[in-house]
């Protein structure tokens, strides 16, 4: 499915049921189905989608990275799951039941700078492949 969008990717071994359950419990959020499927198959990885680089964190990294980046303080209700390897993070906007994907800067992180980029995790790959 998403593999068609990926170029030169290093993918991890799939997440265990235990790590998935622990992450959901510690985050307090349910994960979108397509993202959960990706984690169960690959548990993160990194590589190019179109001309853009994408790093997807392991399920075990979600809670600590969101805590370390102080997301609750600077951009409450976002759940970051990866980055472009530079100054921007990607995350789910949990203020909406649809959990759209947003892009937000790490420096100066604020909800007002969260830019919607895709309606779902799967659509993020299409957006990256086709964005200018």
Give tens-digit pLDDT for 19-35.
Answer: 999 998 999 888 999 99
pLDDT at res. 42: 95
Structure tokens at 9: 């990717």
pLDDT tens per residue across span 67-114: 999 999 999 999 999 999 999 999 999 999 999 999 999 999 999 999
Other beta carbons within 10 Å of 36 = 17
- Unique residue bearing structure tokens 């989608």: 49
Residue 128 burial (CB count, 10 A): 21
Helical ranges in the chain per DSSP H: 17-27, 33-42, 59-68, 71-74, 121-130
Homologous superfamily (CATH) for 2-130: SMI1/KNR4-like (3.40.1580.10)
Domain range annotation of the chain: 2-130
73 CA to centre of own chain: 18
């Amino acid at each position: 499915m998403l593999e068609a969008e990926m170029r030169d990717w290093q993918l991890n071994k799939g997440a265990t049921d235990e790590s998935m359950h622990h992450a959901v419990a510690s985050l307090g959020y349910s994960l979108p189905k397509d993202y959960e499927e990706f984690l169960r198959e690959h548990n993160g990885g990194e590589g190019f989608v179109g001309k853009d680089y994408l790093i997807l964190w392991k399920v075990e990294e979600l809670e600590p990275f969101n805590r370390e980046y102080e997301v609750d303080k600077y951009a409450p209700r976002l759940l970051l799951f990866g980055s472009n390897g530079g100054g921007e993070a990607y995350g789910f906007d949990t203020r909406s039941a649809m959990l759209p994907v947003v892009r937000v800067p790490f420096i100066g992180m604020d909800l007002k700078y969260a830019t919607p980029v895709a309606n779902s995790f799967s659509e993020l790959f299409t957006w990256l492949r086709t964005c200018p």
